[in-house]
Structure 1
Amino acid sequence: MLLRLNATDNRPLHEQVAGAIRRAVAEGECGPGDRLPPARDLSRALGVNVNTVLRGLRTLRDEGLLEFRRGRGVTVADGAEQRSALLDRVRELVADAAHLGYGKSDLIEMIRGLP
């Protein structure tokens, strides 16, 4: 798995790390059941602190993209590629709504109003 961070990206580093792993899953570089390299190796490869990598990994675990298993390390969850694509679309929707002056709660109400 080849991960890179964009030096011109102004998002926090842990979000960039999570995004790079999301891209790797979405592009098929790693799939369900695949084990990720240890956080120390990822931090060296990306040139960031190991705690930054761990924070990004926890974000992805909370999103359901990764699973943390004692003795097995961090693996890609089943269905992760589909969740990753859906989460990207949701983020785009939230950004578009914010651009138009709507907040997340407004979107939730719109969704609840759908048949």
Structure 2
Amino acid sequence: MLFRVDPASAVPLGDQIAACVRGALADGSATAGERLPAARELADSLGVNVHTVLRGYQRLREEGLIELRRGRGAVIVPGAAVPDRARLVGRVRAVVAEARELGLSDEDVLALVRTSLTAS
């Protein structure tokens, strides 16, 4: 699995790391049971802080895509290869990043989403 981050991007580095895993799930290059690189190893290869990698991994855990196990590291869970969900999560994160670039508050973004939900 290839991890790339862009330090100049408005998207936080941890979110970029999580997006790499989501993308790999979406395109089938990552599968259930596969181990992700150790946080320290990935941080060194990307030139970022280990806590940045852990934030990305924690986000994936919250989304139910990986398990974090002491001594085993991060493992993709069965059923995580749901391309539509992974793609949607990636799009939502991109919308949030764009909204932040535009200076919109969280409440403004939520209002836009609510409006879109009631319009459909």
Per-residue deviation, 1:57: 0.6
Q: Secondary structure at the match of 1:80?
A: coil
| Cα RMSD, aligned residues only | 3.0
Distance 1:32 1:92, change over 3 A: same
Partner of 1:52, secondary structure, is helix
Alignment partner of 1:103 is 2:105: no
Identity rate, percent: 44
The alpha-carbon deviation at position 28 of structure 1 amounts to: 2.1
Distance 1:105 1:23, change over 3 A: same
Distance 1:6 1:106 in 2: 28
Q: What amino acid is aligned across from residue 71 of structure 2 in structure 1?
A: G
2:23, 2:87 within 8 Å by CA — same for their partners in 1? no
For structure 1, list consecutive stretches of 5 or more residues without a partner in the other structure: none
Equivalent AA in structure 2 for residue 104 of structure 1: L
Q: Distance in 1 between matches of 2:13 and 2:98?
A: 23
In structure 2, relative to structure 1, the CA distance for the partners of 1:13 and 1:91 (3 Å cut) is closer
TM-score, with length taken from structure 1: 0.73
| 2:47 counterpart letter in structure 1 | G
Deviations 1:36-85 (A, max 9, x none): 11101111111101011001110111111111123332111222231312
Pairing 1:53–2:59 present: no
Structure 1 residues 95, 6: CA separation in 2 closer, same or farther (over 3 Å shift)? closer
User: Which region of structure 1 is more displaced relative to structure 2, 17-26 or 59-68?
Assistant: 17-26
Superposition misfits of 4+ residues, deviation over 4 angstroms: 89-97
TM-score (norm 2): 0.71
Which structure has the higher relative contact order (CA within 8 Å, separation 6+)?
2
